[in-house]
Chains A and B, each alone.
Chain A
Amino acid sequence: MTSANPRHTFARMVLLEVSPTDAPLFEDFVAASDDVKDGKEIGTDFGVVEVAAMVGPVAVWLAQKVFDHLLSWAAEIGKKTIEGFLVDSGKAKLKAWLAAPDKQTLKGALTANGRAEIMGLVAALSARSKLPPSEIRKITSRIAAILFGDEGK
């Protein structure tokens, strides 16, 4: 699994873990990630609203947000804002992971605070997704597993 865009690589990994059936829709999910619009549209619609959100597009959206957050840490290495989130050797690991998330993990790179910060972000974004709690737990545990190896499982 190689891709020119590491952000997409990570998002695809999460999608394949959470909802492999949706893999053919990955590009559509990526294109929708920055679209926050919701609700009614011009034209006729079906009239019966979906009862539950689908896990696939939410997983891709969430994974990209997490990736962007970690990318912002990499940009701020050396600044006080992220001190306490990364262990000493974590900075190099983070850079390596951001370049190839499918070949690296962040296992041992983050402090307890850093890990709590990331998982807090995942929880906050999941809460906005309207997914059922079981699906939220599924996404959270899979992202933790991909990022931190066995730690998240």
Chain B
Amino acid sequence: MSDPLDELNALSRSGHDVDDWRRERIRAAAHRELGGPSPVKRAWDRFLEPGLLVALSAASLLWALRASAAILVG
């Protein structure tokens, strides 16, 4: 019996593909995503959202510390 790897090569020529509608839908969806996110979205993801999170966390921590101190000091 011949090598199954050589025989499998027959399947590479069968050329199965998605139908035309799906093919173009995928292409259009990918085109919309090309080039990565917009500069505004990138700035939001990289700086604004993490910055906002840090600021809110710091404010909550400060508030908690002050509240604890007020109770302890009387």
Is chain B a partner of chain A in the same complex?
A: no
